[in-house]
A and B are shown apart, each in its own frame.
Chain A
């Protein structure tokens, strides 16, 4: 079955595909990213500073991914609720904000593979993920590949 992958790819069928063509749109275009600040001392995931681009581990990763796709990043701030809503309606391509794999948003958003594991202050393991639009599988796989290729240390 693993041998079927290149076979099909050779026929010009790319699997998986995006029903809404997200990956194609952002490649050489604009990556719409929703950011929400993470407060607290568990990690420097997303830091928002007035008058400057978002900083932290996740914005850096997003910039890296965008660069690999020759995309420019457009940042949108907001609450998790607002951002996930935008994501669901196709206004955003990606939402970051220190989300864990146990995020309650999974009915409204897809998520990447955990790209890093840390422990929170209660000693519980947190698997860090980013949120993507539901069903945009080519985009998700491209992002997964990028994230899992990074050598990330907590």
Chain B
């Protein structure tokens, strides 16, 4: 593994983001701050009208948990800018994976807790009690305020979520994606809670617990989905697209590029998704009779890095034949 290893200092960790991604990152940060501000208002408003409704409680806890992804994103966005050090030769990119994992576990734990809590409420036939509240000198049913607040806060996250979704694709950011995905589904929580309270209003005591069950199931589901994604990334699974829909196309592009280089006979890479950027190890078999120089290798390395901003940390290893132990599946399906 020596011939291909670049000895010169390359600034992997320095965010060498192209203009477009730099712009996207700036927008994403702004949106996350907007999200946090919106959530702060939401949490305060919902708290004021919380009452005895289990559905409202579930929605409120979901709002509290919704703080985690934006905070995780903002913290990680700061940490990953650090250049690699002697202690952290691969840089700090994994911060985003850790943030993702923490958010996922929090979602799963709270979702499960609420699920059990709401189910118990349903089984023990707890009748939620919601009385009056004094507003502008008049006594009205607190339920109306609950419904009003929930409907008021239902719509904005959908728009924020949609905007973030676009940025997540450009940035290849899974935390941002998870966050956007949750925001997009947030209106259902709000509407479910409002329906639950309306159910109490017409005398269906169980409507509240049922709404709470739906909300907690969605929280737990978010947790499971994110936990899967976060763990598989931390386990260095094959790089996938930002929404985990399929293998990342860059994988094929790098191999194609290598294959189409004059002196390369065969080439195959393995890629680790470090969060935003990829770490790539490319195994290259020279064409028979060709003897690549150190300059050739460095040139190839630089050309590969230029392929995409996500490719920053790339090592080329010259090998007599593609090693099965590093490239599982290379013998069976990987050869071109």
Contacts and interface: CB of A to CB of B under 8 A. Distances in A.
A69 interface: no
Contacts of A137: 129-131, 141, 143, 200-201
Contact of A134 (B129, B143, B202, B203): B129
A135 B148 contact: no
B201 A15 contact: yes
Interface of B: 52, 126-134, 139-141, 143-145, 147-148, 151-152, 198, 200-205
A13 interface: yes
Contacts of A144: 131-132, 139
Interface of A: 1-2, 4-5, 13, 15-19, 110-113, 132-137, 140-141, 143-145, 148-149
Most buried by A among B126, B127, B132: B132
Contacts of A17: 201-203
A16 B139 contact: no
Contacts of B130: 16, 137, 140
A15 B129 contact: no
Contacts of B131: 110-113, 132, 137, 140-141, 143-144
Given A5-B144, A15-B202, A19-B204, A134 B126 contact: yes
Given A19-B205, A148-B132, A141 B141 contact: yes
B307 to A, nearest CB: 54
Contacts of A18: 203
A132 B129 contact: yes
Contact of A141 (B52, B128, B132, B148): B132
Nearest to A140: B131
Contacts of A112: 131
Contacts of A140: 129-132
B203 A19 contact: yes
Contacts of B132: 113, 140-141, 144-145, 148
Contact of B202 (A13, A111, A145): A13
Contacts of A148: 132, 134, 139
Contacts of A134: 126-129
Contacts of B128: 134-135
Closest 3 CB pairs of A and B: A135-B127, A1-B148, A110-B129
14 contacts: A1-B148, A4-B147, A15-B144, A15-B198, A16-B201, A17-B202, A19-B205, A111-B129, A134-B127, A135-B205, A137-B129, A143-B131, A145-B139, A148-B139
A149 B144 contact: no
Nearest to A110: B129
A15 B145 CA distance: 13
A137 B142 CA distance: 10
A36 to B, nearest CB: 20
Nearest to B127: A135
Contact of A15 (B126, B134, B141, B148): B141
B197 to A, nearest CB: 9
B38 to A, nearest CB: 19
A19 B205 CA distance: 7
A15 B143 contact: yes
A16 B127 contact: no
B324 to A, nearest CB: 64
A100 B140 CA distance: 22
A16 B143 contact: yes
A1 B139 contact: no
A144 B72 CA distance: 44
Contacts of A13: 202
A110 B131 CA distance: 9
A111 B200 CA distance: 16
B272 to A, nearest CB: 51
Contacts of B151: 1
